[in-house]
Structures are given as C-alpha cells and as structure tokens.
Chain A
Amino acid sequence: AQSVAQPEDQVNVAEGNPLTVKCTYSVSGNPYLFWYVQYPNRGLQFLLKYITGDNLVKGSYGFEAEFNKSQTSFHLKKPSALVSDSALYFCAVRALREGSYIPTFGRGTSLIVHP
C-alpha cells in the first residue's frame, strides 16, 4: 500500500521569508511524487513532480521540492514567500511501476503567508 503524510495542518510564514511544507511517503519500489496547490473554490493545480534524476525539482510559481530517498521525504520549498502563495498544498505519491496508476494524496497543508 502507498501512503502520504503531511504532518502539519497549517504553516504560517511572513512574506519574504523562506517556506517549507513537509511531506513523507511510503510506497513499494520507486516513487512518483507530486505537489498540487488548491486556491479557494478551485480544483487542485499541478505544481511539480519527481520521477528520477536530480533530487531538487523546480516547478511553477518559484516553488521547488527536494526528494530524499533515505528519509522518504519530498518537502516543498520556496526561498521567498508571497501573500499570494496562501493556499492549500497537497503532496501525492504513486508507485512507479506498470499497473499502478492511482496516486494517493495527503490530507493537505494550509499555507498562510502574512504581509
């Protein structure tokens, strides 16, 4: 079985400061990892993904995520937060193997960026 844990329900950060939203995963074999963002009254939007290669993945809106195999983590980061980054962030994982096509989502982390 595959699972995702987002240990923080909410993250608060001041505008201009770096932000980190944490994610750990459990999956059989190699993982296919995603981050999605949900703005109020909208569906989830894709931010970035990791399959293989460089452990630091860059995505939309200046976000990046670092894959750490030994810690089974895929934390989302941004060097300088904007108020407009305030949203709900979801981490997702699926096994990178034939026959496994359904991603499992975490509970989501609410990011609040204060002016």
Chain B
Amino acid sequence: DAGVIQSPRHEVTEMGQEVTLRCKPISGHNSLFWYRQTMMRGLELLIYFNNNVPIDDSGMPEDRFSAKMPNASFSTLKIQPSEPRDSAVYFCASTLRGTTNEKLFFGSGTQLSVL
C-alpha cells in the first residue's frame, strides 16, 4: 500500500486566490482527518470524516475553509479566499476506526505559503 497520499507537496499562492488540497486515504480506512501544523499552535484538527460524512468540523477556522469527501478514496480541503495567516503545513490522516489496532496514518503533508 502506498500510504496516505497528499497533493501537492508544496503550494505557493497569492492572497485572495483559491487553494485546493487533496488527499487519498489508505484503501479500506473509514475515517479521515485534516490537520494543520504551525509553530505557534502546533497540530490542530480541522475536520473529521467517518464513512465519508463530516462528523466534527469545529476546528475549521472560518467560512473560508471547506472540506469534502465525495467518496471513500478522496477528500479535498479548500481555502477561498486564501490569506497569509493560512500559511502552514496541512496533513491528512486516515484510520480504520473501531479496531484495537486503531492508529492514524499520516500523509507527507502540503506546505502552503500564501504571499
């Protein structure tokens, strides 16, 4: 298995532009998480999906952020419009919830820079 795949690895954009981050979870996993990592705030949970349904989006900072999971093998995190304070590393993680072997598998992240 290739693991959790995120794209792009790096994204540089200008303030006001739309940004779309993509994630392919591990096949067979039923839960997906989006995290944001910054030096100031550490690792923050943005949103959690279970069986493609958003369960907890309380971590989404504001309406500029939206996430979708149209099927079990794909999710997107969109920022529109982007702002410099959105600059961070965004991680996607997946797991098979409900098993004793539950642990998160993280992608390599997307380094986002908003100028």
A interface residues, Cβ below 8 angstroms from B: 32, 34, 36, 41-46, 49, 51, 90, 101-103, 105-108
Contact = CB atoms under 8 A, between A and B. Distances in A.
Interface stretch (B13-21, B70-78, B105-113): B105-113
Contacts of A51: 100
Contacts of B105: 46
Contact of B103 (A34, A101, A106): A34
Chain B residues touching A, majority SS = strand
Which 8 pairs, one residue from A and one from B, show the smallest C-beta to C-beta distance?
A: A43-B106, A107-B42, A46-B103, A44-B106, A105-B43, A43-B108, A43-B107, A43-B109
Interface in B64-115: 91, 93, 97, 100, 102-109
B53 interface: no
A34 to B, nearest CB: 7
A44 B42 CA distance: 13
Contacts of B50: 101
Contacts, number: 45
Given A42-B109, A43-B4, A108-B43, 5 more contacts: A44-B91, A44-B106, A102-B33, A102-B56, A103-B104
Contact of A101 (B31, B107, B108): B31
Given A43-B93, A101-B97, A108 B108 contact: no
A5 B18 CA distance: 35
Nearest to B48: A102
A28 B50 CA distance: 22
15 contacts: A32-B102, A41-B108, A42-B108, A43-B4, A43-B93, A43-B109, A44-B91, A44-B93, A44-B104, A45-B106, A49-B103, A101-B31, A101-B55, A103-B104, A106-B42
